[in-house]
Structure 1
Amino acid sequence: MKNIDLTHCITENMTVYPGTEKPKLEAASTYERDGFKETLLTMFSHTGTHMDAPAHLFEQGASLDSYPADQFVGKGLVIDCRQYKEGQRIPMSCINAVRENADLAEFILFYTGWDSKWGTEEYFRNYPCITEEVADYLIASKKKGVGLDVISIDPISDANLTIHRKIFSESNMVIIENLTRVGEIGNDIFTFCALPMKFKNADGAPVRAIAIVK
């Protein structure tokens, strides 16, 4: 068995959604002064590799702390979408090409290779996004979640967050954004874990996402 870490490290200089403040990691206690180290973390709930809940967009939507832990672990499948370039949409044909495994999976991860642009301005430019038809499939097949190696499941230009709203208004699926190393997982079903920080009324939270591959 092999564990693959799919998580970007949180740093003060990391990539964040445009307009969001970068995280701060301040030394609250030091070895020299206090005999131990403690860090004060200040960051937004959708920092780095993170999970969105319906409460992100809807006042009455489910928050992450209300989910059972089982929601965050399950059978995953990677859909290789690297053939789709800037501004293109990932169609249902990508799902249909691996439909048997896609139907079995509880989490679908879309591999665009866009994480190679992490830390550059290109990361925000017209990354490939799924179609509404793909979102309909994810909802109808009652997936636990969907993950991507881009900054949002919606285009950066879509201020309405159309795909977010569709998923969260029609299901309690979670959305995991800013994954990395998805291309190392392979094409078979694997165990996916993405455990969010648990705080009250969590609209979203950083996660430590891993793939457990046989």
Structure 2
Amino acid sequence: MAHRDLTRRVETDMPTYPGDPPVSVAPHATVEADGYRVSAVECGTHAGTHVDAPSHTEPDGRTIDEFPVGTFAFDAKLVDLRGRGPRAAIRPADLPETDAGMLVLRTGWAGRWGDPSYFDHPYLSAAAAEDCAERGYHVATDAASVDPSPSRTDAGTAADPDGVPAHHALLGAERLIVENLTNLDGLPERFELRAYPLRVAGGDGAPVRAVAVAERPRRR
């Protein structure tokens, strides 16, 4: 089996969703001064590559620590959505029918990480999110959110967020959301996505170490 890391590195001042807490990784103890090394990590529950729990948007939604750990190993199908412009809506017709339990949306926006235009990513329309929920799909993306994010460019405020309908549709149906994936190029169409979150008590989400696991191609 081949393993590929799909996780953003956690580091000081990494990009975060507009308004979320900044990330800091700083020395707390050093070998020179203390004889051992410990770092202090400060971040929000949705920093970097993370999973959203239903309680993120749903008043009575389950928290991240209420899900069995096996929930976070997903039979995933990669959906190639590259070539769409800034703030393009992903429609139901853009998504395949599959017996996989998760759709992984490759928008190509992962390559804009660290640039203000990262937040002008394509997003799931409310109808597409409702369709995914009805079909029982969890959803992952290489973008900042499945809904439009607040813009940090001149891409046009008309498509800035008006609520989070895709989050409500998915999380309200207990379909989980994984955001800020990277390194999706070259993956097979079908693989296992393992995205195990930190077990945050009462957490509305948590950072994950996201890993794609797939069969190695056979050599002839």
Given the two structures, how large is their TM-score scaled by the length of structure 1?
0.91
Shift of 1:92: 2.2
Q: Match of 2:171? A: 168
State the AA in 1 paired with 2:191.
F
Kept after mapping to 1: 8 A contact 2:171/2:177: no
Aligned partner (choices 135, 142, 158) of residue 141 of structure 1: 135
RMSD across aligned C-alpha pairs, in angstroms?
A: 1.3
Q: 20-29 or 37-46: which moved more?
A: 20-29
Partner of 1:105: 100
- C-alpha separation between the residues in 1 aligned to 2:41 and 2:162? 28
Larger fraction in helix: 1
| Matching residue within 182, 185, 188 for 2:184 | 182
In structure 2, list runs of 5 or more residues that go unmatched.
150-159, 216-220
User: Number of paired residues?
Assistant: 205
CA contact (8 A) 2:52 2:176 kept: yes
Distance 1:167 1:53 in 2: 10
Asked whether the equivalents of residues 15 and 113 of structure 2 are also in contact (C-alpha less than 8 Å), the reply is yes
TM-score by length of 2: 0.89
Q: Provide the residue aligned with 2:83 in structure 1.
A: 83
Shift of 1:146: 0.8
Amino acid at match of 1:114: W
Q: Equivalent residue of 1:206, what SS?
A: strand
The answer to whether structure 1 residue 213 and structure 2 residue 207 are counterparts is no
**1:192 paired to 2:193:** yes
Q: Which amino acid aligns with 1:109?
A: V
Instruction: Return the offset for 1:159.
Output: 4.3
What is the Cα deviation at residue 141 of structure 1?
1.9
Identity score, percent: 29
5+ residue gaps, structure 1: none
